Amino acid sequence: MANKIIVTGGAGFIGSAVVRHIIRMTQDQVCIIDKLTYAGNLESLESVSGSPRLRFEKADICDRAAMDRIFADFQPDIVMHLAAESHVDRSIDGPGEFIQTNIVGTYTLLEAARKYFNALDEEARRKFRFHHISTDEVYGDLEGPGDFFRETTPYAPSSPYSASKAASDHLVRAWKRTFKLPTIVTNCSNNYGPYHFPEKLIPLVILNALDGKPLPVYGTGAQIRDWLYVEDHARALYLVATSGVPGETYNIGGHNEKKNIEVVHKICEILDELQPRADGKSYAEQITFVTDRPGHDLRYAIDADKIGRELGWKPQETFESGIRKTVQWYLDHRFTWCKNVQDGTYNRERLGIGGAK
């Protein structure tokens, strides 16, 4: 039986991947809720925009009246909550937006969901799920090379961004325990792939390289991240939302630990092959080391055994296959999607989606 799913932040990087997956691979109906801030881009949904099973609501998750209206009108079976401010550097420059969206917004959405859930009949209540999508950054960083983040790892956030996400995770779990709202939490490692906003490491390096600009690397580039291809993540999130157990947490990782400098060199290597520089030199000559940011975590690594063991998920992409697909996508879309985002001329609200409000 098809589900009716609200996806908050559905015009963002991970959210749009989730929406594309649901529309292409299932018969479920989707209602996107997105405020369309700088990183929200309806062009990322162009390939599925004609689906009659997709609708769009431009709304702020902090707007309780709007959330109540959307819940009452759409009557969701599942909420997948991805709307968040997510860039660490921006959180250092201006923490306020992160507190408002990630904490107050999550609280507002939880209260709207609780009101809606309490009015459902018993059968609908058994089906309802509130799936909160979070990050591995809430755990802080790891010391030894053999350590991994597990679902039981204590929280130790380092940045305003990760602290705001940690707070939202705690709210979601509290609403499960206190109010019996059937919530699930997932914490993921670093995502990469198509439609990634160019402020993040991988798209920034690809596009800067092609434009002949410096490739900025914090410190010595020794920071280690576990890289997860966004379409693998989208599959995992849908699986958790539809088959996960309320009250549980699932960590989602790509099993691809790489130093940042290794990632940059790999991108340069692929670009050298696919789009060589006119002067014949390697893109690696554009690498520039810059002052490290405050409180920069050294190593993240996810133990994703639980979701594999209990739900049967595993990533389909290796880092090598995923990063090649990603570089090729940016090459193919350099003068369309990428250009529109880089020069600021893209109109986030231009694309027509059936049922838009």
Please give the positions annotated as active site.
136-137, 161
First to last CA, the chain: 26
Q: Compute CA 91 distance to the chain's CA centroid, rounded to the nearest angstrom.
A: 16
**110: Cβ–Cβ under 8 A, 6 or more apart, which residues?**
130, 171, 172, 175, 181
Short-list 235, 237, 194, 230, CA closest to 330: 194
In angstroms, the CA 247 to CA 107 distance is 17
Q: d(Cα 159, Cα 170) in Å, to the nearest integer?
A: 17
Burial of 207 (0-12, 13-18, 19+ CB in 10 A): middle
- The two tokens of residue 8 are 């908050």
